[in-house]
Each structure stands twice: as C-alpha cells, then as structure tokens.
Structure 1
Amino acid sequence: EISPPAVLMLASQNIVIILCGNKKDLDADREVTFLEASRFAQENELMFLETSALTGENVEEAFVQCARKILNKIESGELDPERMGSGIQYGDAALRQLRSPRRAQAQSPQECVC
C-alpha cells in the first residue's frame, strides 16, 4: 500500500507536486501499475507522469507542467510571489513588475527587436 507523502500534511495548501513514475522504459519490470499510481495521484491531488531518465521521455514535460500549474495559481491569485512565505518568488527584479505575464502580452503585443 502506498501512503500519502508527509509533505502533504506539512506543506502549504497551494503546494504543487508532481508524482513521477520513473523507469518507464522498463515497463516489464514495473512494481506499481499505471492505474495504481494514477489513482494514488488523483486521491492525493497530485499531478502524475511516467518518465524515463534513460530516454528522456516526459522529463522536461514534468517541469513544464509544474511551472504551468504554478503560473496558473499566480494568475488566479491563489499564489502571490510578493507575499513572504508563499514559497515562490520572482528571480529577476524586473519581473516583479509583471503581475500576469500572459495578460500583459495579450494587452500590449511585443515589438520585434531582431
């Protein structure tokens, strides 16, 4: 039986966690079925992907999905990078002025500087 990670009980309710089933390339040797893992992820409100470090399958996608979910939470107001203790922050001081990167692009199209 798989038990929920302790981090779910200790972390912020806005935490973003992705469960990665590794070694997808060794399907014949698997110990947990896709169905078991995806059910566990769903029951614990986790994102889930099967990955392979050997082939690179879904490795980048895991980071992209995680980042996309964090960005959606920022845009919806669930997460505020300006609030201490939110667990996230802008890396570049210039980015702190951008509250909603997607909306800012939609309202004022960028000019090409090629």
Structure 2
Amino acid sequence: MAFYSEEDAETQGYLFKIVLIGDSAVGKSNLLARFARDEFYPNSKSTIGVEFQTQKMEIDGKEVKAQIWDTAGQERFKAITSAYYRGAVGALLVYDITRRQTFDSIGRWLNELHTYSDMNVVTILVGNKTDLKNAREVSTDEGKALAEAHDLFFMETSALDNSNVAAAFQTVVKEIYDILSRKVLQSREVIKKDESSIGSGRAVVLQQDANGAGDSATGSRCCSS
C-alpha cells in the first residue's frame, strides 16, 4: 500500500513506499544506512534480494513514514525485485560518479521502474560517491542534463561524508506529500461543491432511458465508480 487513506492520514499520518534502484555497488545500501541510522559500512556486501527500513519524518505538523526498499542491483535478482516496485510512489535512482557504466544504465532502470510501477513515481537521480572526486567519470552537468531530459529531480551525494543524503530522501518524500495534499484538497473542494449543489435543491440527473426520459433525484447524491 502506498499510503494511508485520507481518513487515516488525518489521524495517523502518511506511509510512502520508496525504492532505491541502480546498478550493484553504487552505494544504495550505504545511502539508506546513513539516512536511517547515520551509519556507513566501508566493506558492505551486495544486497541479496530486497531489504527495507522505515524512517519517520514530520511535514506540516503531520507524521510521514517513508518505507524505503533497497533492491539488489545484480541481474540475477531481477525476478525477485521487480515485484517490489508495485505500490512505490517514490524512487531514488542511483549511479556511481566514478563508474560511467552505472550512469549509462540509467535508461534501463527507468524503463524497469515504469514497467513495474506507476508512471508517475516521484524520482530523483542521485550521483553518489562525490567524496571520490579525483576518480570522477561523470560530470555534474551530465547528471543534470539527464535528469532534465527525463523530468527527474537531481542531486549528488556522498554516503561516506553524509553530503546531501538526507536532502535526497527528503526531496522525494516532500514532493510525494505535496502531490497527495493537493489531491486531498481538490477532492474536498469537489465534495463541497457537490454538497452546495445538493443543498440548493437542484435536480441531479442520474441516467436516461431509451426514450430520453431522465431519472432524477433531488437532495441526494449518487457516486459512480
């Protein structure tokens, strides 16, 4: 489930599912470890399958929980991880600035994300390992250009020195929250408008029969799916 219902959101806050994707060894697990626990593992092993952490944030006085899924980047785990895209409303698409091949894989990862999840997933392109600037193979401008071409957010990070790590996650969560808040507000405005129309005593046409005669209801509301 991507988030609580509107009623639950008023009392319990929101729950967003976010996925970390990208080639193996780009630093996805360390980004999550730094964000969730302020930890870094220099000798961390490749993720097997999928792992996740839940991190709480507060936005506009409401509690927001980000359920962050760390997916394995190796080809052999694709059959396992693809199912976990479903229900995701946010994604961090990570590459290693010192390994151009991980940057060249971004298009493939975007295709996979769009295949297995909602096309409207809020996505940020993350160039990780800026602490290794002397070994850089992908420039900041290249990252920005690719993000702009695919209408993505963009940020460069370092899990080692904690540069922009929280900001990357918070950018995604805040954008999801803003989108959902706008939808909730719009739905309430529609309900208010409907209730105003009903209160005025105007007839609401439900359907017409073959002869063109209309069934109508005054002072009541019908919702169709």
Give the 3-state SS of the residue equivalent to 2:155 in structure 1: strand
How is 1:2-41 mapped onto 2 (pairs within 5 angstroms)?
2=104, 4=107, 5-10=110-115, 11-41=117-147
Gap change, CA 1:16 and 1:7, over 3 Å in 2: farther
Structure 1 segments (4+ residues) deviating >3 Å: none
Computing the radius of gyration from Cα coordinates, the structure with the larger value is 2
CA distance in 2, matches of 1:34, 1:58: 14
Say what the alpha-carbon RMSD is for the aligned residues: 1.9
Structure 1 position 6, deviation (Å): 1.5
> Partner amino acid for 2:139?
T
> Partner amino acid for 1:20?
V
Deviations 1:50-76, CA, capped at 9 Å, x for gaps: 000110001111111010110111022
The partner residue of 1:51 within 157, 161, 164 is: 157
- Structure 2 partner of 1:67: 173
Provide the TM-score with structure 1 as the length reference: 0.61
Provide the TM-score with structure 2 as the length reference: 0.33
Structure 1 position 14, deviation (Å): 1.7
- How many corresponding residue pairs? 79
Return the structure number with greater relative CO, CA threshold 8 A, min gap 6: 1
Give the 3-state SS of the residue equivalent to 1:17 in structure 2: strand
CA distance in 1, matches of 2:130, 2:139: 11
Gap change, CA 1:71 and 1:58, over 3 Å in 2: same
CA distance in 2, matches of 1:6, 1:18: 15
Structure in which a larger fraction of residues adopt strand: 2
